[in-house]
Structures are given as C-alpha cells and as structure tokens.
Amino acid sequence: LPCAITPCRLLLGECVTDLIRHGKQLALLSDNGRAISVQLGMTGRLWMPKTPDDASAQERHVHIMWTLESGRMLFCDARRFGSVEAFPNRDVLQSVKWNVLGPDALTITGPELHRSLGITHRAIKAALLDQSVLAGVGNIYADEALFRARISPHVPASYLDADACARVATCIREVLELGIMRGGSTIRDYRDGRGEAGSMQDEFLVYGRGGMPCNVCEQQLTSGTVAQRTTVWCETCQKNRLSR
C-alpha cells in the first residue's frame, strides 16, 4: 500500500536514480528502492528554478520543496488536482497504481489500440480519454489526433477496424511527439520543469477553434460536448461512418 507522505518518505537523504513514466503518471526512483509517484493533474508541475528568486512569485502554490545537490525542485499546484504519493518500491507502485492503466499513448500501435478498444460502443473520444483504455491522452490531444485521423469523435469505438485503429494510433503518436517537441501547450499558465512556456497551442488544428474555418476544407469547425468535455471537430473532414 502507499506509505503516508512524511518528509522521510520523500526520499530525504537518498539519491534519485531514475525517472519513469506511464501515461500521465511520473515517478522518481531512489537508490534504496523507494518510489515517489507524481500526478500533475490540471495545474501541477515539477519545477527547478534557475535562481532562488525565481521561486518567490510561485510561493503560495508550492506544496513540496526538495533540496538537491544541483538546486531546488518544487512541486507546485495552483488548483490542487495533482498528487504526490510514496511507495516502498517500484513493484508496489506498479501493482497499486499503474496496473489499471492501458498501454502508453506515446508508443501505441494500431493492433494494441484495436485490442484495447475491444468491443466498447462508447464514442471513440470517450474511449481515448479513458486512461484504462489508453494512458496519456487528454482532451486536447484526443481532438487533435481524431481530426488528423479524419474520424468523428462520435463514432462508436467498436466500429474502428484495424486500418482505422492504425491511423488513430499513428496520429496520437504524432500529436504527442509534436507536443513534446513544442514543450507542451501554454494556454493559461503551463510552464515546463525549467520554467519555460510551451508553444504547442500554435499547432492546434481544432482545439479551441470552434466556429473558425477548418484548415483543410475551410468549413466552419463544430464545437460541442462529447464525453462531458468540450470537443471541436470538422463535420466534413471527420467521418461518422466507417467501413468495418
């Protein structure tokens, strides 16, 4: 079971030997085997300020501060949807927390996605957001990937054949890789670990563009709610029906 978070559980005096990730979950591993999992949620971030002064503006949102040989590392979270948990070792982290996650989105293949979607009749957008089906895709990247794959967010996931799954898997990997290259999307206040803003927001083809012209066909993009999330798609480019 997860250990209570106390200063000595936070790897005090230990050496961080590895950083691992599955989907949206991160973990720091230490040389004595302990693991700290970090879930960033909406506004959480791990931050290594370049100078001591850097941290002052963020001070009220700092929940944890580690002093490392190379400087300080902070866990900040303005809206508190994030979390930090301690585990006695990597195996417990895996069995308690990560075993419920689907395959990782950054390396997902067509056959893996096809298998993971299974026979669910939920809309493909809802299935992609379900972390037990696929780990690592959120609202922005689901919309961007489905647009690039030319598949409507409403299509029942079970309608996607092997070819469609291969297309969606490729587009998911592409938009995530682009997002990483661009340092993430800074829509409001996101900053990476070095305090830099991302520029993925400049690459969005649909997200946040409801009512604006589609970059491909110039028809107005539609905005609506799918899987309880604001969703933007092109009625012309993204097909509702797929051959099975």
Binding-site ranges for Zn ion (CB under 5 A): 214, 216-217, 234, 236-237
Interior angle at CA 146, CA 144 and CA 149, nearest 5 = 110
Count of C-beta atoms within a 10 Å radius of residue 9:
17
Strands (E), 5-124: 16-22, 25-30, 35-39, 44-47, 62-68, 71-77, 83-87
CB of 150 to Zn ion, least distance (A): 9
Identify which of residues 124 and 234 has a Cβ nearer to Zn ion in the complex.
Answer: 234
**Phi, psi angles (nearest 5°) of residue 126:** -65, -40
The one-letter amino acid at 233: W
Identify which of residues 30 and 231 has a Cβ nearer to Zn ion in the complex.
Answer: 231
CB of 236 to Zn ion, least distance (A): 4
Identify which of residues 30 and 238 has a Cβ nearer to Zn ion in the complex.
Answer: 238
Residues making up the chain, counted from first to last: 244
Count of C-beta atoms within a 10 Å radius of residue 172:
25
Identify which of residues 139 and 236 has a Cβ nearer to Zn ion in the complex.
Answer: 236
**Phi, psi angles (nearest 5°) of residue 179:** -60, -40
Identify which of residues 175 and 234 has a Cβ nearer to Zn ion in the complex.
Answer: 234
CB of 232 to Zn ion, least distance (A): 11
CB of 224 to Zn ion, least distance (A): 15
CB of 221 to Zn ion, least distance (A): 7
Residue with tokens 């029942």: 156
